[in-house]
Amino acid sequence: MSIKLATVVLVSVAFFASSSSAKPAPRNARVPPIWSCAGGHGLHPDPEDCGRFYQCAPGHRPFHQSCPAGLHFDPVLLVCNWPGSLTTPCAAELEMEIPVDEICPVPIPPSHGTMAGSDVSIGATYTFSCHHGYQLQGASSITCTEEGWSAEYPICHPIRCGVPAVRSKAASNKIVGGHEVVPGSQPWMVSFQHPLYPLQNANLCGGSLIAPTLIVTAAHCFRPLNKPQTGWVAHLAEHNLYEDEGHEQNITVKDIIVHENFVYDVLTNDIALVRLSRPANMDDWVSPICLPEEGEKVEEDTLCTTSGWGYTKPLALNEYPEGELQSAVLQEIELPVVSNRKCATKLPDYEIYPEQMCAGYDEGGIDTCVGDSGGPLACKDDVGRMTIQGITSYGDKGTCAQPAKPGVYSRVSSFVSWIHEHVTEQEWAVIRSYV
Is residue 122 very low, low, confident or very high in pLDDT (cuts 50, 70, 90)? confident
Of 314 and 139, the one with more pLDDT: 139
pLDDT higher for 36 or 181? Answer: 181
pLDDT bucket at 173, cuts 50 / 70 / 90: very low
- Is position 422 annotated as part of the catalytic site? no
What is the percent of the chain where pLDDT is above 90? 46
The CATH number covering residue 103 comes to 2.10.70.10
Total number of domains in the chain: 2
Q: Is residue 62 part of a domain?
A: yes
Residue of 373, 410, 413, 414 marked catalytic: 373
pLDDT greater than 50 at residue 302: yes
Q: Return the SS3 of 229.
A: coil
Catalytic residue, from 49, 74, 270, 283: name it.
270
* 54 and 99 within one domain: yes
* Confidence grade of residue 38 (pLDDT, cut at 50, 70, 90): low
By mean pLDDT, which of 18-32, 219-233, 262-276, 394-408 is the weakest?
Answer: 18-32
Q: Check 44, 60, 220, 422 and give the catalytic one.
A: 220
Indicate if 152 and 215 belong to the same structural domain. Answer: no
> In this predicted structure, what is the pLDDT of residue 193?
94
Residues 70 and 209 in one domain: no
Indicate whether 208 pLDDT > 90: yes
Q: What is the pLDDT of residue 353?
A: 96
The boundaries of the domain holding residue 222 are: 185-289+417-433
Mean pLDDT of 137-145: 89
Neighbours of 37 (CB within 10 A): 21
**Weakest-pLDDT range from 9-18, 41-50, 76-85:** 9-18
Closest to 207 (Cα-Cα) out of 275, 114, 302 = 275
Cα–Cα distance for residue pair 305/387, rounded to 1 Å: 10
Residue 360 lies in a domain: no
Q: How far is CA 416 from the centre of its chain?
A: 24
Closest CA to 196 of 238, 222, 233, 223: 233
Find out whether the peptide bond into 224 is cis, omega within 30 degrees of 0.
Answer: yes
For residues 28 and 151, give the distance between their C-alpha atoms in angstroms, rounded to a whole number.
8
Q: Could you tell me the end-to-end alpha-carbon distance of the chain, in angstroms, rounded to an integer?
A: 44
- Catalytic annotation on 220? yes
The string of pLDDT tens digits covering residues 47-68 is: 778 888 877 766 566 677 888 8
119 and 189 part of one domain: no
pLDDT band at residue 324, thresholds of 50, 70 and 90?
Answer: low
Q: Which residue has the higher pLDDT, 178 or 424?
A: 424
Q: Enumerate residues 6+ apart whose C-beta is below 8 A from 292.
A: 381, 387, 388, 389, 412, 413, 416
- Summary mean pLDDT of the chain: 81
185 is catalytic: no
pLDDT for residue 64: 73
| Whether residue 280 sits in one domain with residue 422 | yes
